[in-house]
């Protein structure tokens, strides 16, 4: 995988002002790995989701936090199941995560869960989630969510 001619570990950064590509020193990796979801967090870090088991070197099962400022990766807890498909940022700064999983960050959450940015912890949504994978999320102007599966 390449971006702008440079090897890219499933993720690259494009500068719209300069038109130049750059890649993190170490991206996400693992057998048959890919990134399907990105969300900019308050403070500038990026929540990265998909299907992978390494992020920047350390183990990270399908979710990780990336700092573009420092190039550092940190784990956000592992996903039990298959993968993360989508994110929706909340006005509170949290992120709703959808995908195909039974638990995330050690919390039971069937195919949908909430990431608390300030504590880097996960919580389940009311009702234990969805019976089908959550493949699309969007936040409504009234604060609600549309969840597609």
Whether 117 and 110 have beta carbons less than 8 Å apart is answered as no
User: Mind listing the pLDDT tens digit for each residue in 68-102?
Assistant: 999 888 888 878 888 999 999 988 889 999 999 99
Neighbours of 31 (CB within 10 A): 7
Distances (CA, A) of 21 to 14, 16, 29: 5, 9, 19
> With pLDDT > 70 as the criterion, what percentage of the chain qualifies?
99
Mean pLDDT of the chain: 86
- What pLDDT, on a 0 to 100 scale, did the predictor assign at position 127? 74
Half-sphere exposure for 27 (CA within 13 Å, toward CB): 23
From residue 94, how far is each of 41, 53, 102, 113 by CA, in Å? 8, 23, 20, 10
Q: Is the pLDDT of residue 32 over 80?
A: no
């Amino acid at each position: 995988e390449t971006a702008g001619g440079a090897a890219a570990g499933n993720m690259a950064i494009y500068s719209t002002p300069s038109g130049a590509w750059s890649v993190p020193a170490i991206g996400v990796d693992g057998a048959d790995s890919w990134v399907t979801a990105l969300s900019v967090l308050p403070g500038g870090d990026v929540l990265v989701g998909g299907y992978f088991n390494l992020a920047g070197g350390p183990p990270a099962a399908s979710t990780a936090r990336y700092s573009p400022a420092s190039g550092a990766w940190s784990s956000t807890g592992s996903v039990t199941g298959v993968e993360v498909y989508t994110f929706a940022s909340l006005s509170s700064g949290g992120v709703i995560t959808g995908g195909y999983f039974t638990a995330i960050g050690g919390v039971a959450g069937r195919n949908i869960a909430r990431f608390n940015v300030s504590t880097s912890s996960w919580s389940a949504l009311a009702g234990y989630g969805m019976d089908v994978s959550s493949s699309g999320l969007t936040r409504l102007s009234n604060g609600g969510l549309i969840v597609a599966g």
